[in-house]
Chain A
Amino acid sequence: MLHALLARINREAEGGGRYALARARAISTLGPLLALILASIFFTTRTDRFLTSDNLSLVVQQVAVVGIIAIGQTLVILTAGIDLSAGAVMAFGTIVMTRLAVTHGLNPFESIALGLGACTGFGLLNGLLVTGLRLPPFIVTLGTLNIAFALTHIVSNEETIANLPRPLTFFGETFEIGTTAITYGSVLALGLALVTWFALTQTIGGRHIYATGNNPDAARLAGVRTRRVLIAVYTSAGLLYGIAALVLIGRTGVGDPQAGQSANLDSITAVVVGGTSLFGGRGGVIGTVIGTLIVGIFRNGLQLMGVAAIYQFLVTGVLVIVAVAVDQLSRRRRA
């Protein structure tokens, strides 16, 4: 009964039957995929150093941190929310983990657990404020962005924390396939994307997230506990930022209070370029993976070509506008 209703809400929101839903999702992923392929072909013709397994592994390493944040951001944006606190919460996580382990000499695994806990706590706080006080996510996370930023700098005393024990830096270590070195952080990022994809598309909880994003009132009438869904979404996003913190520590080998300052906008860029709608309910984590790769490949490819850094911003800007325009136009046509 409940699920029949839910299915109907989804159908109505998507403007047709299952077929239309599948087609809409395919279109929203196909565009970004095409852009990714075209960009890759372009850079391959421009520099022979682009299409090598070493370079591609490098690009994945470089985007793993923002990619993991973007997975959390995807969950939030699917509910028609936004999370500005993402990067600041991650930076706080790196400082909690490294400071506890190095300065206070805590067991590294306990430090990691507490860091993950701190980030998850921030996510829970976001969720409670959004649902409890019914404040707009933009404002709530703007507030927690500043709180996490301040705590990061107060706790770290502006110092970079180095000489980390091994478990903390594990995700920066590599294994080899053939001659190509791949970091465990890259594998973890892809694994998290897969798990999230499964949860979003194959579980009831995932359908509830889409339903809440599509039409919260209808979802609530159909029996979805939308508040719980939102709290779960923000809390999971917080946990993902904590995992991103651990991967960042592995990559840089330090706890850096300056880290992550543009990660919120970078992750939103990746999500949007990946075809997820800022209005909620449409898109998914596969698109976000593609969006993250597009941004990373442009940065890498343009630098290999020797193009000045400022053009990377130009290209990113154009990509964002195109992605949002495509989303809007496809909505209008189906409406």
Chain B
Amino acid sequence: MGMEGIGRAEAGRRALVKTRAGWRLAALAAGAAAMLAVVGCGGNSGTTAASTPKPVIIGLITKTDANPFFVKMREGAQSEARAKGAVLVTGAGNASDDAAGQITALENMVSIGAKAILITPVSAGVTAAIRKARSEGVLVIALDSPTDPVDAADALFATDNSVAGKLIGQYAKAAMTGKTVKIAMLDEAPGSTVGKLRHDGFLAGYGIPGTDPQVVCVGNGGGNQPDSQTAMENCLTKDPGINVLYTINEPSAFGAYKALVNRGKQGQVLIVSVDGGCAGVGGVVDGRIAATSQQYPLKMASLGVDAGVDFATTGKRVSGYTDTGVTLITDKPQTGVDSKDTKFGLANCWG
């Protein structure tokens, strides 16, 4: 009886081991199948070459998959690629500073035969990989932010973030003429390239150095709503008299606005921002934001796809810097500062 029990337990354990091994095998097989499917897809576009003209493969590598800005950029590239009969493959890093993830994506795209690769480089960490891809005959275009150094890529299609900051700086200066001004600035995060360009641009547009006593508070809002709310609350505690607010982007502006509402100070602070997403322009329409510098991520992507297809068919390489433009959007224009109204902003917004 006792022996039998042990025997049964032993058999049970063996069966368990067996099922575990089987399980692992099944998982491996499933993983392999999934990978083959992916490779198969990539291969398909190559094998159809015999019957139809070989579709051009264009790669797009963004910083992350999650940020709405990059999601819109991908959508812009996708629709342009479809229109031109090209195949778009996409990749991204895991975080906004994940150079290794971008390099992996880049190498994979070169190996499946992409003719052109559009990339929003996260840092100088991807520069060597970009040079290597170009040495293998691939056209590489930097989107949104420059490579470090700029000439590591064939061309740069981007918004001038410095000008974007400058426009709202000039706007704030004009709007506050003759008033005592206390400025708060909410940045993205320490070390952000785009953040620094916009920040310094704003100061240049306003015509003051960062050390000017009119700048009473500089906070770190992470470019997102909750952290910007916290940073603005602390700024208002530091100086309740703040009446001009620069924010790195519109989510940051909305977070700061919530802090103002909680203090009963809405409408008393002139808020200027950058991005021009549809939600952001909505904030200009309802008066939460006074003015925002609108950028055009879809345009960057579609121009990039065009240039890639052009290169694949004619061999012509684009080069240099193409400014995809920035427009100041406001419903309260100031003399001496060029701007368009929210009707234009909503017609051209992304996201």
A-to-B contact residues, CB < 8 Å: 47, 49, 54-55, 58, 61-62, 65, 149, 153, 158-160, 174, 181, 248, 251-254, 256-259, 299-300, 303-304, 306, 308-310, 312-313
Question: Are B224 and A306 neighbours in the complex by a CB distance under 8 Å?
Answer: no
If A258-B224, A310-B190 touch, whether A299 touches B230 (CB-CB below 8 Å) is yes
The answer to the question of B225 belonging to the interface, with a C-beta cut-off of 8 Å to chain A, is yes
User: Which A residues are CB-close (under 8 A) to B66?
Assistant: 149, 153, 158, 257-258
Question: Are A256 and B226 neighbours in the complex by a CB distance under 8 Å?
Answer: yes
* Shortest CB distance A153–B (Å): 5
Tell me the complex Cα distance, A310–B219, Å: 10
User: Which A residues are CB-close (under 8 A) to B65?
Assistant: 153
Question: Are A54 and B237 neighbours in the complex by a CB distance under 8 Å?
Answer: yes
Tell me the complex Cα distance, A128–B292, Å: 49
The answer to the question of B204 belonging to the interface, with a C-beta cut-off of 8 Å to chain A, is no
The answer to the question of B58 belonging to the interface, with a C-beta cut-off of 8 Å to chain A, is no
Within 8 A of A (CB), among B188-241: 189-191, 217-220, 224-226, 229-231, 233-235, 237-238
Tell me the complex Cα distance, A174–B225, Å: 20
If A62-B230, A252-B255 touch, whether A55 touches B190 (CB-CB below 8 Å) is no
Question: Are B238 and A258 neighbours in the complex by a CB distance under 8 Å?
Answer: no
* Shortest CB distance B185–A (Å): 11
* Shortest CB distance A145–B (Å): 12
Please, what's the 1-or-0 string for B173-195, where 1 marks a CB less than 8 Å from any CB in chain A? 00000000000000101110000
User: Which A residues are CB-close (under 8 A) to B67?
Assistant: 158, 258
If A153-B66, A304-B234 touch, whether A160 touches B229 (CB-CB below 8 Å) is no
Tell me the complex Cα distance, A54–B233, Å: 11
* Partner pick for A308 among B218, B226, B231, CB 8 A cutoff: B218
User: Which A residues are CB-close (under 8 A) to B217?
Assistant: 303, 306
User: Which A residues are CB-close (under 8 A) to B308?
Assistant: none
List 6 additional contacts besides A258-B251, A306-B238; criterion CB under 8 Å.
A58-B233, A158-B68, A257-B66, A259-B224, A310-B191, A313-B190
Inter-chain contact total with CB atoms closer than 8 Å: 81
Question: Are A252 and B258 neighbours in the complex by a CB distance under 8 Å?
Answer: yes
The answer to the question of B71 belonging to the interface, with a C-beta cut-off of 8 Å to chain A, is yes
Tell me the complex Cα distance, A174–B234, Å: 18
If A158-B66, A158-B68 touch, whether A303 touches B226 (CB-CB below 8 Å) is no
User: Which B residues are CB-close (under 8 A) to A309?
Assistant: 187, 189-190, 218-220
Tell me the complex Cα distance, A304–B234, Å: 7
- 6 pairs, CB–CB < 8 Å, chain A vs chain B: A61-B233, A160-B251, A300-B234, A306-B218, A309-B218, A313-B190
Q: Smallest CB-CB separation from A300: which chain B residue?
A: B234
* Shortest CB distance B203–A (Å): 15
The answer to the question of B129 belonging to the interface, with a C-beta cut-off of 8 Å to chain A, is no
The answer to the question of B303 belonging to the interface, with a C-beta cut-off of 8 Å to chain A, is no
* Shortest CB distance B156–A (Å): 26
Question: Are B234 and A299 neighbours in the complex by a CB distance under 8 Å?
Answer: yes
The answer to the question of B318 belonging to the interface, with a C-beta cut-off of 8 Å to chain A, is no
Please, what's the 1-or-0 string for B249-268, where 1 marks a CB less than 8 Å from any CB in chain A? 00100110010001000000
Within 8 A of A (CB), among B110-155: none
* Partner pick for B233 among A62, A256, A312, A313, CB 8 A cutoff: A62
If A304-B238, A308-B218 touch, whether A256 touches B225 (CB-CB below 8 Å) is yes
Q: Smallest CB-CB separation from A248: which chain B residue?
A: B226
The answer to the question of B346 belonging to the interface, with a C-beta cut-off of 8 Å to chain A, is no
User: Which B residues are CB-close (under 8 A) to A160?
Assistant: 225, 251, 254, 279
Tell me the complex Cα distance, A251–B254, Å: 12
Question: Are A303 and B238 neighbours in the complex by a CB distance under 8 Å?
Answer: yes
Question: Are A158 and B234 neighbours in the complex by a CB distance under 8 Å?
Answer: no
User: Which B residues are CB-close (under 8 A) to A313?
Assistant: 190
If A251-B229, A258-B66 touch, whether A304 touches B237 (CB-CB below 8 Å) is yes
Tell me the complex Cα distance, A182–B9, Å: 61
Question: Are B234 and A258 neighbours in the complex by a CB distance under 8 Å?
Answer: no
User: Which A residues are CB-close (under 8 A) to B231?
Assistant: 303
Q: Smallest CB-CB separation from B219: which chain A residue?
A: A303
User: Which A residues are CB-close (under 8 A) to B235?
Assistant: 303
Please, what's the 1-or-0 string for B35-77, where 1 marks a CB less than 8 Å from any CB in chain A? 0000000000000000000000000000001111001000000
* Shortest CB distance A129–B (Å): 14
User: Which A residues are CB-close (under 8 A) to B262?
Assistant: 174, 181
Q: Smallest CB-CB separation from B70: which chain A residue?
A: A158
Tell me the complex Cα distance, A303–B65, Å: 32
Tell me the complex Cα distance, A299–B231, Å: 9
User: Which B residues are CB-close (under 8 A) to A65?
Assistant: 226
Question: Are A303 and B234 neighbours in the complex by a CB distance under 8 Å?
Answer: yes
Q: Smallest CB-CB separation from B239: which chain A residue?
A: A49
User: Which B residues are CB-close (under 8 A) to A159?
Assistant: 68, 279
Tell me the complex Cα distance, A209–B230, Å: 34
User: Which A residues are CB-close (under 8 A) to B254?
Assistant: 160, 254
Tell me the complex Cα distance, A258–B96, Å: 13
Tell me the complex Cα distance, A174–B233, Å: 15
User: Which B residues are CB-close (under 8 A) to A149?
Assistant: 66
User: Which B residues are CB-close (under 8 A) to A253?
Assistant: 258
User: Which B residues are CB-close (under 8 A) to A258?
Assistant: 66-67, 224-225, 251
Tell me the complex Cα distance, A47–B235, Å: 13
User: Which B residues are CB-close (under 8 A) to A308?
Assistant: 190, 218
Lowest 6 CB-CB distances: which A-B pairs, in order?
A309-B220, A310-B190, A303-B234, A158-B68, A258-B224, A62-B230
* Shortest CB distance B114–A (Å): 25
Q: Smallest CB-CB separation from B220: which chain A residue?
A: A309
* Shortest CB distance A36–B (Å): 18
